[in-house]
Structure 1
Amino acid sequence: MDLRMIEMMAPPETTREARQLLEEKRIMGMWTDHLDDGCSILRILSNADQTEVISDMLSDKFSSIEGFRILLFSVEATLPQPDIEDAEEEVGEVAAKEEIEGPGRVSREELYADVTEGSELTPIYLAMVVLSTLVAGVGLILNDVATIIGAMVIAPLLAPNVSLSLALTLGDLELGWRSIKANGAGLAVSLVISVIMGIVFTVDPGAKEMITRTMVNLKHIIIALAAGSAGVLAFTRGVAAAIVGVMVAVALLPPLVALGLLLGAGFMQLAVGAGILTVTNVICINLAGILTFLAQGVRPRSWWEEKKAKKASRTALAIWTLLLLIFAGIIWYWGQFDVEALVP
């Protein structure tokens, strides 16, 4: 069971009122501490998927009170462990207790904090991009599948794509611009490094792992859509992002590095196929990301923000869908060529 501890800081009379409000709900546990400065802390133990409902409930009622603040912590374990079967029996026996139905994911605030961390354009992020590009480039040059998979494990391009999808879902323009800068910088750095590798090293365009990234077909759209959805679910369900990030890396990193290697080595016609695949994958990952966020019920807390978010998400969906249809036609046209015949 994935647990969270919610800490609400407020004046004592406010925490007492909040406790009375939550006692009518099914809460795993509540504790109140009184501080020396006259404030109180109400600690609430709950399931991870209940935290958004609880925090919204408390914020809507008490956010205007001076000193109000909510902190959210992940709980690794609790003793004694909660007995799910006993809890269900208790709910059946006490009909007056109302269970808080969560959205089936981590809270909006927790999701935002996790995702926005990856939208920052930092030296560490760029270093991870460089390292993953070097490993993927060597893997493609050596035609070594294991080395290519090793580059995918680093998965630096997952977070900025997911944060861009979240920004468009919530209508957060500031987060959107940060995500675009981080994503664009990561893609550009990876492309430049791989072009240099293509110039310096001997590239075999007929190698299996290389030619695969130039033979684009409509099936690649399914892979990229699934990758984008999996990347978002990794954050909304609290799954280790690095694990699911491998799937996003499958769709982004190898074709991007293949594009750079082929450009650097002078195989321009073959590079077209890798470029088409790269751009199509970026479109699909972001389109699937927005759809998955919407399906998971990720919305702004206030109604006026939700109105702006609906407009932003609809516009983004329309643009990404139009681009996908355009590139689907390009992929179909490219599929009429015998790519292997272009290999010198």
Structure 2
Amino acid sequence: MPARLVEIFLPEAEVTQLEEILPRHCRRYWRETVPGGQEKYSCIVQQRYAERLLNELEAAFESMPTFTAYVAQLEAVLPPVEETAETELLGPNALRPPTAIERFFSRERISTDELYDDIEESLHITPSYLLTVILSSIIAALGMRSGQTAVVIGAMIIAPLLGPTMGVALAATVGNWNLGRKAAGTLLVGALFAVLGGILVGHFVVIDPLVSELQNRTVVQPADIALALACGAAGVLAFSRGASLTLVGVMIAVALVPPLAATGIFLGVDQPVVAASALFLFAINLVCVNVAGIVMFLVQGLPPKNWRITSGILAVWVFILMLLASMMAGRLVFGLGALETGRRYIMGGG
């Protein structure tokens, strides 16, 4: 069972209250005195209990200037930290034990604070971030231009839009408006620079707009919605369990980076109508990733601050998805979403 080492520093006067809290969340902890009149507690906490321990510590001690707690991942613990339905620790306000389904889905999720820390660095608009976005888009654009899928995957591994995308879904789930605004702004700027990277390739490199890798980014089919939903769900599932960001990046980038690069390429070769089709694919993918991301965060047991707000945001995303899906259906019915239509626009046939 995955475990965390939680180390807590606080004044000696608060030890009694802390020792009332700890047994509710862990079975192994040690105390030692450190300089400055502080006491240090080292606790081995199962990953599934780290969230609620940190929440209770924050509620009890956050007003104390000398209180500090930090979390580290443990590679191994001897004897092993075992947990069964019979021995699990109930929360301080638990009215009932968790169901088998709740236990199954939430047992290995990392805490919300760890999720915040993993995302935080990628939400700053820095020269490094902008350059990474442009390079990722250029690599994807060149890969699509030459029909080399492996090169496109290489662009996905860079995954510059991963953090902002996860940040938008996480903010919607927990109702954190500051995080949401910051993530959305970073994602918007990143998307614009990704399109710019595609424009550079379309303007300076000889492009055959009829190559299949590019044409596939101008057509939106029901399968594309299923793909984007699967990408978002799988990405959040891996991310919330502390998986490699590269793995998560491939899941998310497959739905976001190539359509943006294709949009830029078609703008660079003066095909705005076809570019709009690629941008439409990006819009559907972005909405799908957020819908699936919010749902998967909730399934993983991420606690919203206000269920009404989270439900409302999810309802808005679902409404937008239904609206875009209706537009996609209309385009298919009238033949505007077919590959042949795109070829006629590119070849000047109207």
Say whether the fold is shared (TM-score over 0.5): yes
Q: Is the Cα–Cα contact under 8 Å of residues 52 and 106 in structure 1 kept in the other structure?
A: yes
1:131-150 alignment runs, 5 A limit: 131-150=135-154
Is the alpha carbon distance of 1:262 and 1:44 closer, same or farther for their aligned partners in structure 2, counting shifts above 3 Å? Answer: same
* Structure 2 counterpart of 1:73: 72
**Distance of 2:238 and 2:25 partners within structure 1:** 29
**Distance of 2:340 and 2:292 partners within structure 1:** 31
Q: Is the Cα–Cα contact under 8 Å of residues 26 and 99 in structure 1 kept in the other structure?
A: no
**Distance of 1:2 and 1:125 partners within structure 2:** 32
Q: Is the Cα–Cα contact under 8 Å of residues 32 and 39 in structure 2 kept in the other structure?
A: yes
What amino acid sits opposite 1:73 in the alignment?
A
Q: Is the Cα–Cα contact under 8 Å of residues 158 and 231 in structure 1 kept in the other structure?
A: no
Shift of 1:151: 0.6
What per-residue deviation string (whole Å, max 9, x for no partner) do you get for residues 202-240 of structure 1? Answer: 221221211111121111111111111222222211111
What amino acid sits opposite 1:257 in the alignment?
A
Of 313, 328, 342, the match for 2:325: 328
Of 216, 220, 224, the match for 2:220: 216
**How does the TM-score come out when normalised to structure 1?**
0.87
* Structure 2 counterpart of 1:230: 234
What amino acid sits opposite 1:37 in the alignment?
G
* Structure 2 counterpart of 1:157: 161
What per-residue deviation string (whole Å, max 9, x for no partner) do you get for residues 27-77 of structure 1? Answer: 2x2111101211101110122221112222333344455633222122234
**Distance of 2:65 and 2:342 partners within structure 1:** 70
Q: Percent identity?
A: 32
What amino acid sits opposite 2:38 in the alignment?
C
Q: Is the Cα–Cα contact under 8 Å of residues 210 and 258 in structure 1 kept in the other structure?
A: yes
What amino acid sits opposite 2:80 in the alignment?
D
* Structure 2 counterpart of 1:57: 56
Shift of 1:16: 4.6
Shift of 1:319: 2.1
Of 312, 315, 328, the match for 1:315: 312
Is the alpha carbon distance of 1:82 and 1:125 closer, same or farther for their aligned partners in structure 2, counting shifts above 3 Å? Answer: farther
What amino acid sits opposite 1:322 in the alignment?
F
What amino acid sits opposite 1:188 in the alignment?
L
- 1:130 has 2:129 as partner: no
* Structure 2 counterpart of 1:108: 112
**Distance of 1:52 and 1:250 partners within structure 2:** 31
What per-residue deviation string (whole Å, max 9, x for no partner) do you get for residues 288-344 of structure 1? Answer: 2122222222225xxxxx23xx34323322221121111111211222424225422
Gaps of 5+ in 1: 301-305
Shift of 1:279: 0.8
Q: Is the Cα–Cα contact under 8 Å of residues 256 and 286 in structure 2 kept in the other structure?
A: yes
Number of residue pairs the alignment of both structures matches: 328
For residue 34 of structure 1, give the secondary structure of its aligned residue in structure 2: strand
What RMSD over aligned residues (CA atoms) do the two structures have, in Å?
2.4
- 1:205 has 2:209 as partner: yes
**Distance of 1:220 and 1:329 partners within structure 2:** 14
**Distance of 2:73 and 2:178 partners within structure 1:** 27
Shift of 1:274: 1.2
Shift of 1:242: 1.4
* Structure 2 counterpart of 1:303: none
**How does the TM-score come out when normalised to structure 2?**
0.85
1:238-257 alignment runs, 5 A limit: 238-257=242-261
Shift of 1:17: 4.2
